[in-house]
């Protein structure tokens, strides 16, 4: 498994392809790859959002992401998992997060990737601050 906090924009499709080719090294073993990509919207709670700053808790965030990947590995019969999450200043259409799970059969990949995203959203220490047309605000609820 691999988790990473990224300061710079990334292409989630390139990342998953490169990981699968160069790191996973399990060709022929996985029959299912589930991929989730979170992308920044230009609207939230009825307002136009121009930009966003994502903050994290260096150390704890990585520790928590590793922990949930380990839990997914125990709960489902998966081969590997990958999480990359952006921090810093970002703009609409920028990828925020990619979660990929590889398994022999689809059920484990679907369920484990859903689990990783829900755990990430509810417990991993990240915070979003939105820049609106006028002023900025911290996002208070994760929908």
Partner 1 sequence: MIGFDPVYRNLVSSMSIAVKFFASLREQVGKSEERLDAGPAATVAEIWQLATGGQPLAANTLMAVNMEYVDAGHPVQDGDEVAFFPPVTGG
3 binds partner 1 (CB under 8 A): no
- Taking the C-alpha atoms of residue 33 and residue 66, their distance in angstroms, rounded to an integer, is 19
Binding piece for partner 1, criterion CB under 8 A, among 9-17, 22-30, 53-61, 68-76: 53-61
| b/e 6-44 (16+ beta carbons within 10 angstroms → b) | eeeebebeebbeebbeeebeeeeebebbbebebebeeeb
Could you tell me if 9 and 91 are in contact, meaning their C-beta atoms sit under 8 angstroms apart?
no
Query: Encoding tokens for residue 60?
Result: 């704890």
Nearest distance from C-beta of residue 6 to partner 1, angstroms: 13
Stretch 56-115 residues interacting with partner 1 (CB under 8 A): 56-57, 59-60, 63-64, 85, 96-97
Stretch 4-23 residues interacting with partner 1 (CB under 8 A): none
Where along the sequence are the contacts to partner 1 (CB under 8 A)? 38, 54-57, 59-60, 63-64, 85, 96-97, 117, 120-129, 138-142
């Amino acid at each position: 498994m691999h988790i990473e906090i990224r300061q710079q924009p990334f292409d989630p499709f390139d990342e998953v392809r490169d990981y699968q080719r160069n790191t996973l090294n399990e060709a022929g073993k996985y029959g299912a790859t589930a991929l989730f990509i979170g992308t920044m919207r230009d609207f939230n709670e009825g307002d136009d959002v121009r930009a966003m700053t994502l903050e994290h808790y260096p150390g704890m965030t990585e520790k928590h992401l590793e922990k949930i990947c380990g839990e997914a590995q125990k709960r489902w019969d998966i081969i590997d998992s990958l999480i990359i999450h952006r921090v810093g200043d970002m703009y609409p259409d920028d990828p925020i997060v990619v979660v990929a799970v590889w398994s022999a059969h689809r059920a484990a990949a679907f369920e484990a990737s859903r689990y990783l995203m829900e755990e990430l959203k509810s417990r991993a220490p990240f915070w979003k601050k939105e820049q609106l047309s006028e002023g900025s605000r911290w996002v208070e609820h994760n929908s």
